[in-house]
Amino acid sequence: MDAILARLDPRQLRQFCVDAVGHELRIAHELIEKARVAAKRLEDVQDAAQRLRFDVFNDDDALRRELQELHAAHHDLGLSLARIQCAKASEVAPGTDAFGLEPRPCKWTTVKTEPSANSPPVTGERVFAQAIDLCHDSDDSEGEASVVSLSSVEDSESESDRDDNGDETFVPSDTESDEERRAPGLPPPPASRKRRLSEISDATESAPSSAALSGCKRKLLTDLVAKMESSSSQSSHHRALLAAGKLALTQMRKPIKDRGAAWKALFEKTNAILLTATSSGESQSEGEDSVLVIVVEFTIQVLTKCRPDVRRKRLRQLLRVMTSADESTGQLAKSVAALQEYIHERFVIPKREAKVFRQRLAAACSTVNAWEKGSFNVPEFVDKMDLLRDLMTKQFEAWQPARETRVAGLIVKLLEKMEAFRPGKLQDQRRETLVAWLEQCDATQPSPAIDPVAPSAPAGPAALSKKKKKKKKKKAKSQK
């Protein structure tokens, strides 16, 4: 599948996705519209029966059961529309990353594309109005973004446990500076990267609140928890999941600055449900899967506001357990990838995890060396540039990739291979990025220190004797 998709142009692939979603949306709209008309007719018939003094739904058990089934279907429909709206809001929420925080530096491959004028119009605003209202909550003054979520490597750091007091470890905003991220002895990040982070931070501050998305997640979790409470399941995982869902729901109703006191209890309950999900081996219902994902994502959001040392330690612990749980449930792949990226972006990458990047660099160098014109495409080229972006922007313990000759060599090779593509604006942007990285590599290469003012050392006796011997040889040759 990946080999086939890699041959498609990204804009063409996007248009296919737009067409497919539009097609399914129109079908859903037509069916929901028919259901709405049928429900209106049912309401009129019921009114007519009541005018005749007949309460048919109370008198007939079969009709009452059918009405209850219809209500259940309506509830499921509302949940589906709410999930769709949540996903839509998380995609378009400006100025936030996967955890609702300041995003990582924007990739050079970002392209702003407009919907095609030939794509069919999408209607049905009235049908989705109720779902949008469900997602909106004006009482929530703090915006959160849902996680739209690499296998984890064991944590090599042994940090002191200084997080007994939740209020002291919790901070209302992300205050970690570049100095806190940087390992001792490492140079500061490039000025261009600082400038990008500053621009992104400004955009985050000016972005509107995503209160609608926060309300959507909370109301969705409310419905799911209520459904779990009415369930007859008594498994240990079900009970742990229900307790964690209730705690998360209680904290979701509070402003962000008031959630710090419960971060430890939230972490412990989330850790417990991930462990039971790994060990139980029982199949979960769709509702339980949704509760698991929402609770995990909310816990990550709360932990990202803790003190840097606590944040680093707890997030790494959570990542290991999430990775194991995802192997059993298959529901946390996106969350695992997003958390892994967050940790690599915010903290110094330890030596053990840096080995993965070294291996990727070696593989990329051998792959690019084997490229010939027509044997590679844009997605493959983009993948190698993504690797270079990671190497040039992330902080590694005891390793500076910009000083590696292989990194500079890979950049030069990519600049050569670019000639196989047609010229255009994107190509110019990629070339500028590669040239900037190459200049950064050249700037980090050590150069020999030469002091032009320092006087030359006087010649010693050995040097003088050598000069005399050379003069004698020249005279002997001239006499011959």
Is 184 a residue whose pLDDT tops 70?
no
Report residue 442's pLDDT band, with 50, 70 and 90 as the boundaries. Answer: confident
> Which pLDDT tens digit goes with each residue over 133-151?
433 333 344 433 333 333 3
User: Do both 251 and 306 map to the same domain?
Assistant: yes
pLDDT of residue 87: 62
User: Is position 148 within any domain?
Assistant: no
Give the structural domain span for 369.
351-444
- Provide the 10 A C-beta neighbour count for residue 58: 9
Q: What is the mean pLDDT of residues 461-476?
A: 58
User: Do both 181 and 257 map to the same domain?
Assistant: yes
C-alpha to C-alpha distances, 342 to 44, 103, 378, nearest whole angstrom: 55, 9, 26
Report the alpha-carbon distance of residue 96 to residue 114 in Å, rounded.
21
User: Do both 388 and 305 map to the same domain?
Assistant: no
Report the alpha-carbon distance of residue 295 to residue 306 in Å, rounded.
17
User: Do both 316 and 363 map to the same domain?
Assistant: no
C-alpha to C-alpha distances, 9 to 18, 331, 380, 466, nearest whole angstrom: 14, 29, 12, 70
User: Is position 379 within any domain?
Assistant: yes
| Higher-pLDDT residue of 281, 401 | 401
User: Is position 149 within any domain?
Assistant: no
User: Is position 371 within any domain?
Assistant: yes
Is 367 a residue whose pLDDT tops 90?
yes
pLDDT of residue 67: 79
User: Do both 320 and 421 map to the same domain?
Assistant: no
- Provide the 10 A C-beta neighbour count for residue 203: 15
User: Is position 265 within any domain?
Assistant: yes
Report residue 205's pLDDT band, with 50, 70 and 90 as the boundaries. Answer: very low
User: Do both 278 and 368 map to the same domain?
Assistant: no
Is 361 a residue whose pLDDT tops 90?
yes
User: Do both 282 and 368 map to the same domain?
Assistant: no
Least trusted range by pLDDT, from 179-183, 304-308, 386-390: 179-183
User: Is position 73 within any domain?
Assistant: no
Q: Is 464 exposed, middle or buried (0-12, 13-18, 19+ CB in 10 A)?
A: exposed
User: Do both 356 and 319 map to the same domain?
Assistant: no
Least trusted range by pLDDT, from 27-41, 190-204, 263-277: 190-204
> Which pLDDT tens digit goes with each residue over 10-59?
777 777 788 888 888 888 888 888 888 888 888 888 878 777 777 777 77
Report residue 204's pLDDT band, with 50, 70 and 90 as the boundaries. Answer: very low
User: Do both 356 and 322 map to the same domain?
Assistant: no
User: Do both 355 and 322 map to the same domain?
Assistant: no
Report the alpha-carbon distance of residue 22 to residue 241 in Å, rounded.
36
pLDDT of residue 122: 40
User: Is position 290 within any domain?
Assistant: yes
* Domain's final residue, options 326, 359, 392: 326
Report the alpha-carbon distance of residue 385 to residue 278 in Å, rounded.
36
pLDDT of residue 6: 65
pLDDT of residue 43: 82
pLDDT of residue 185: 43
User: Is position 394 within any domain?
Assistant: yes
User: Do both 179 and 283 map to the same domain?
Assistant: yes
User: Do both 274 and 376 map to the same domain?
Assistant: no
pLDDT of residue 478: 66
Q: Quote the number of domains for the chain.
A: 2
Based on its alpha-carbon atoms, the radius of gyration of the chain, rounded to whole angstroms, reads 31
